[in-house]
Amino acid sequence: MAEAAKTRLPGDRFPRASWSAIFVGAIIAVGLMIFFTTLGVAIGAASINPDSESNPLGGLGSGSAIYLIVTQLVSLAAGGYAAGKLSGVPRSMAAILHGAAIWAAATILMAWAAISGTSATISAGTTVLSSAARQAVDAAQYVAPDDLSFPDLSGIAQRVSFEDLPPEIRDTLQERNVTPRQFATAVENAFRNVVSESEQERAVNIVQRAVADALASPGDISEDVNRALDRLVEGPDAVFSEEDREEVRAVLRNRLGVTEQDVEEVIATVENRFDAAVEQARETADELQQRAVEAAGNAADAVSSAAFWLSLASILGLAAAASGALAGRPKTTSVEDMRTTYS
């Protein structure tokens, strides 16, 4: 009877949690995580052979994820076992709760270290979700084409040649001894006088800012870019206004010595080329919107998948810590031993 009283648990007379055991178990778990992470980095780096492999980093992503999950389970199980052994509490539920406390403490410590950036080694095991989130934000930017800009009117004018003009205009220019080179120089200078390099740069910046702002909301790219193009093609901010047209008209008349109607034909040829380039920019914006929406959707799926697997790994870590604590708990404990443990 006395022996039974010695081995019988004392109920609620003693505390259920051993914080010293929880602290030691958490330290052990985090220490093992750091050890396994550095070991994995060493093994992974040593396995890379750029000379013989076309894509030496190709398999590191999935392999490192599996390695981190497995080593996390081992680390938490070891920390839980130590906590269960040191707590001296034989109750199954108490041991499981000690393991859960190990898991919570280790998770909080790892998250704090990753956010604060105090340890690159600890952060290496917790960047999967943040990397996927950054991909969601930046995905559209990688599909933005470099050629989506505002057409250079003077550059287009420079590329207009004799062959692009109506036959009667070509005959008139040849009769006045205007060479193709003289024609190209006159047209380029006429349009460059009204559309300076600084003005062209301003127009390009407006379109590029519209693209950059629209990338934050991929579904509005086409609308925002078209609005910027409309602003630069017509209205008070148009790059080529009616006043500019009059100036070009006067320059071409003086340099080419042709009639007003012939000048209008030359200007119309340049404008048709310019309008085609603007329309191409609009089509490019439509294509960019489709690609950006698709890229953002893929990135969102990656974030969701990463969050799911991290949540599953966290739950498995909780189970590992609880199982370790359950395995490490003493089978029986006397009242005197519990007094000693909590004294």
Would residue 92 be called left, alpha or beta, if left means φ above 0 and alpha means ψ between -120 and 50 degrees? alpha
- The closest alpha carbon to 135, from 291, 288, 306, 302, belongs to 302
Contacts of 201 (CB under 8 A, 6+ apart): none
Instruction: Going residue by residue through the chain, which has 343 residues, state the pLDDT in tens, using 9 for 90 and above.
Output: 444 444 444 444 445 678 888 899 999 998 998 898 888 878 877 766 655 555 544 555 567 778 888 888 999 999 999 988 888 877 888 888 888 998 999 888 887 876 765 544 444 444 544 554 455 445 444 445 555 778 888 888 888 888 888 888 888 888 888 888 888 888 888 888 888 888 888 888 888 888 877 777 777 788 888 888 888 888 777 888 888 889 998 888 888 888 888 888 888 898 899 999 999 888 888 888 888 888 878 877 877 887 787 788 889 999 999 998 889 888 765 545 545 544 4
In the prediction, which pLDDT does 81 show? Answer: 92
* Cα–Cα distance, 331 to 309 (Å, whole number): 35
At 135 the pLDDT is 52
Instruction: List helix spans (H) across 48-160.
Output: 60-87, 92-116, 120-124, 128-138, 153-158
Task: Spell out the residues 6+ positions from residue 194 whose beta carbon is closer than 8 angstroms to its own.
Answer: 240, 244, 247, 248
**273 within 8 A of 156, measured Cβ to Cβ:** yes
Give yes or no for a contact between 326 and 96, defined as CB atoms under 8 angstroms apart. yes
What is the spatial distance between Cα 250 and Cα 245, in angstroms, rounded to a whole number?
9
| pTM summary value | 0.56
Q: What angle do CA 169, 173, 176 make, to 5 degrees?
A: 145
Contact 244, 237 (CB under 8 A): no
Instruction: Collapse the DSSP code of 333 into the 3-class scheme (helix H, G, I; strand E, B; otherwise coil) and give the result.
Output: coil
63: buried, middle or exposed (CB in 10 Å: 19+, 13-18, 0-12)?
Answer: middle
Q: At what angle do helices 19-47 and 260-328 cross, to 10 degrees?
A: 130
Distance (Å) of CA 232 to CA 149, 228, 243, 307: 12, 6, 15, 44
Q: Give the amino acid at 250.
A: A
Map tokens 């009616």 to a residue.
Answer: 242
What tokens does 158 get?
Answer: 């420079």
pLDDT for position 100: 92
Q: What share of the chain is helix, strand, coil (3-state, %, to 5)?
A: 80, 0, 20
Q: Residue length, the chain?
A: 343
Q: Which residue type occupies 131?
A: S
Dist CA 135 CA 150 (whole Å): 28
**Residue 152 and residue 164: Cα distance in Å, rounded?**
18
Distance, in Å, from the CA atom of 329 to the CA atom of 83, rounded to the nearest integer, reads: 8
Residues 227/233/238/241 CA torsion (nearest 10 deg): -160
Q: Is 268 left (phi over 0), alpha (psi -120 to 50) or beta?
A: alpha
Phi/psi region, residue 332 (left: phi>0; alpha: psi -120 to 50; beta: rest), is beta
